[in-house]
Amino acid sequence: MTDSIPESPAANTTSTFLRDLIAEDLRTKKYGEAVIQTRFPPEPNGYLHIGHAKAICIDFGLADEFGGKTNLRFDDTNPAKEEQEYVDSIMKDVRWLGFDWERLCYASDYFGQLYEWALQLIREGKAYVDDLSADQMREHRGTLTEPGTDSPFRNRTVEENLDLFTRMKAGEFPDGSRVLRARIDMASPNINMRDPVMYRILHTAHQRTGDAWCIYPMYDYAHGQSDSIEQVTHSMCTLEFADHQPLYRWYIEQLGIFPSQQIEFDRLNLTYTMLSKRKLLQFVQEGRVNGWDDPRMPTLSGIRRRGFTPEALRAFCGAIGVSRTNGTIDLEMLEHFQRDDLNRRAARAMAVLRPLKVVIDNYPQGQEEFVEVANNPEDPAAGTRQVPFSREIYIEQDDFREVPPPKYYRLSPGKEVRLRNAYFITAQSVVKDAEGNIAEVHCTYDPASRGGNSPDGRKVKSTMHWVSAAHAIGAEIRIYDKLFTNAFPSEVEEGGDVLDNLNPNSLEIVTGAKLEPSLGSAAHGERFQFERVGYFCVDPDTTPTKLVFNRTLPLKDSWAKIEKKAGA
């Protein structure tokens, strides 16, 4: 199975209030005849996660839907934390999700223009250089209930400000010694409007501009103006920026430039999941996971390696919709969308994770045959394949009990079961090793039940998967569970240590699994349903001599049950 990109990814994005707002702006021709322009603006300081997938589906999806365009813009204004590795991974992840950008942009491309605009604001008396230390500035800022107080440097002359700011740029002053601030209102009820910092001194090389700059713009000063330069009509971002909107508008109005507008929507939170690049970086750096693409990570590279599909992610993002209130979505809902997609598209195969050998005593020694098996019962077009069968097979250890508990319908002495697509077998005896563990189960089969069909209408209560021992190939299977034991790990962060909530059993490595031979030619990333077990995909650690599979998800769908209960 390979990734196919549907013709219109936008069709998956439902987002009523954003859609209504854009439709209204088009109707009133707020931006004349121009098509809508959006942007996705990641800071290249980490890998994208599932939360970003939601923002991507909104930014790209809505533009597609309204015939507009979307830029990918790297918000690279903080040279200390940003790296090319992140830039590359972000481009790869956006494309993987099924989107492509109109233009690839960098906020750093606008450093020259932003600097000119800062000079303009200084000349108009709307910005000043402040020498207060960071601590002093904090003291002057006031609180939510008390207004701030003016800095003693607030009334510097335009000439003095121009002189100091150009010298800041020229590198005459050390880091942290001065900042450029917007001159707005120290008594504003919105703390963001109390003379926010526009530029800070940072003698750090930038990954794109090198040593050209030693002053760097703050997010709030860079973001809206970058939108304006790109003529972004609808700049969608998450709700935590709502308090910044007046400042976003202030800069644009004072400069008299293209009137981009900021619109906020709810951030995606998922149970048992931490969606914060900063925290995810910590897990990587401390070795709590095996890198950004560890299949337990909620990064797009992690869940891709785990076997998730872009189709399922887009369908999920469409289904959760967009609102103006933050909430938390059940992880099971995301898993439900993934199962739904894989159930339709993943090829079936037989794999025994914890093998128990079964010898069929009345099957002729040395004989082998092939049984025909559907590749995907959900999709007849997927065809069939031939699976080898012989006298010795493997079944799951869990599928045999020497002393069956009540209601155990699988194999046990004297009981008959169906081997899927093959034969009915009946357990006769067990052979134990020196420690008393069951080494082999001896069975008989009914040759008349070939294909797994009852020869005389007699019924069996269980159908089991199996792999022919002589033909089986070995594999390592990595079984993942939730990374956290706590459903709300980001709330723990406020008080305690989120690392205390890491699930110690989030990875189980099963070696010695036995797979049907067709899986030997599976390609990296290829996805399967192992019948009765779950969804799996080939891990890139796979080599010609060692097959490694990741379990994407078990078969059981708890979300479908939750949903049913809620509806009932």
Counting contacts by CB under 6 A, is residue 81 touching ligand ATP? no
Cα atoms in the Cβ-side hemisphere of radius 13 Å centred on 288: 20
Confirm or reject binding of residue 73 to ligand ATP (CB under 6 A): no
3-state secondary structure 75-127: CCCCCCCCCHHHHHHHHHHHHHCCCCCCCEEEHHHHHHHHHHHHHHHHHCCCE
Among the listed residues 26, 55, 184, 317, the single contact to ligand ATP using CB under 6 A: 55
- Among ligand ATP, Mg ion, none, the one that 277 touches (CB under a kind-dependent 5 to 8 A) is ligand ATP
Nearer Cβ to ligand ATP, position 301 or 529?
301
Q: Which one of ligand ATP, Mg ion, none interacts with residue 238, CB within 5 to 8 A by kind?
A: ligand ATP
Closest CB to ligand ATP among 188 and 276? Answer: 276
Do residues 447 and 513 touch, judged by C-beta distance below 8 A?
no
Q: Which residues of 510-520 are buried (b: 16+ CB within 10 A; e: fewer)?
A: eeebbbbebbe
**What is the closest distance, in whole angstroms, from the C-beta atom of residue 5 to Mg ion in the complex?**
28
Nearer to ligand ATP, 39 or 306 (CB): 39
Matching residue, tokens 């082998």: 368
| Ranges within 36-75 binding Mg ion (CB under 5 A) | 43
The CB-of-52 to ligand ATP minimum distance in angstroms stands at 5
- Is the distance from CB of 445 to CB of 513 less than 8 angstroms? no
Name, in order, each residue with C-beta under 8 angstroms of 135's C-beta and a sequence gap of 6 or more: none
Binding residue (CB under 6 A) for ligand ATP from 238, 323, 428, 490? 238
30, 81, 267, 279: which one is catalytic? 267
From 13, 26, 31, 51, residue interacting with ligand ATP (rule: CB under 6 A):
51
| Cβ-based nearer residue to ligand ATP, 9 or 41 | 41
Count CA atoms closer than 13 A to 73's CA, side-chain side: 28
In the complex with ligand ATP, the residue whose CB is nearer, 60 or 423, is: 60
By C-beta, is 41 or 302 nearer to ligand ATP? 41
> Using the rule CB under 6 A, which residue among 237, 284, 322, 425 binds ligand ATP?
237
Which has the closest alpha carbon to 217: 87, 295, 115? Answer: 115
Q: Binding of ligand ATP at residue 268 (CB under 6 A)?
A: yes
Known catalytic membership, residue 306 = no
| 52 contacts ligand ATP (rule: CB under 6 A) | yes
Q: Which does 54 bind (CB under 5 to 8 A by kind): ligand ATP, Mg ion, none?
A: ligand ATP
Tokens of 121: 């604001």
Confirm if 555 and 531 have CB atoms less than 8 A apart: no
If you count them, how many residues does the chain have?
568
Catalytic residue among 178, 277, 296, 305: 277
Task: Determine if 305 is a binding residue for ligand ATP (CB under 6 A).
Answer: no
In this complex, which beta carbon is closest to ligand ATP, that of residue 14 or of residue 276? 276
Q: By CB under 6 A, which span of 185-193, 268-276, 397-405, 540-548 interacts with ligand ATP?
A: 268-276
The gap between the terminal CA atoms of the chain, to the nearest Å, is 36
Q: Which of 190, 271, 276, 328 binds ligand ATP (CB under 6 A)?
A: 276
Instruction: State in angstroms the smallest separation of the CB of 278 from Mg ion.
Output: 9
Residue with tokens 């196919």: 4
Residue nearest to ligand ATP (CB): 51
Q: Is 149 helix (H, G, I), strand (E, B) or coil?
A: coil
Select the residue interacting with ligand ATP from 13, 54, 180, 449 (CB under 6 A): 54
In degrees and rounded to multiples of 5, residue 236 shows phi and psi of -85, 135
Residue 93 or 396 with smaller CB distance to Mg ion: 93
Among 114, 275, 360, 533, binds ligand ATP (CB under 6 A): 275
CA 192/CA 245 separation, integer angstroms: 9
If contact means CB under 5 to 8 A according to the sort of partner, which of Mg ion, ligand ATP, none does residue 295 touch? none
Q: Which residues pair with 502 in a beta bridge?
A: 484
**Binding ligand ATP by CB under 6 A: which of 277, 314, 336, 410?**
277
- Comparing CA positions, the residue from 128, 87, 127, 129 lying closest to residue 105 is 87
From ligand ATP, Mg ion, none, which one binds at residue 183 (CB under 5 to 8 Å depending on kind)? Answer: none
Stretch of residues binding ligand ATP (CB under 6 A), selected from 166-174, 274-282, 414-422, 511-519: 274-282
For residue 261, give the H/E element and its range: strand 261-265
Rounded-to-integer distance, Cα 445 and Cα 422, Å: 10
Residue 181 annotated as catalytic: no
Evaluate whether 153 touches 181 at the Cβ level (below 8 Å): no
CB of 75 to Mg ion, least distance (A): 7
CA distance 501 to 484: 5
The nearest distance, CB 105 to Mg ion, in angstroms, is 17
Query: Any catalytic annotation for residue 267?
Result: yes
> DSSP characters for 287-329?
TSSSSTT-TTS-BHHHHHHHT--HHHHHHHHHHH---SS---B
- Total residues interacting with ligand ATP, rule: CB under 6 A: 15
Minimum Å gap between C-beta 43 and Mg ion is 5
Structure-derived torsion over alpha carbons of residues 229, 231, 234, 240, reported in degrees to the nearest 10: 0
Site residues (vs Mg ion, CB under 5 A): 43
Active site residues: 43, 267, 277
Binding site for ligand ATP (CB under 6 A): 41-43, 51-52, 54-55, 237-238, 267-268, 275-278
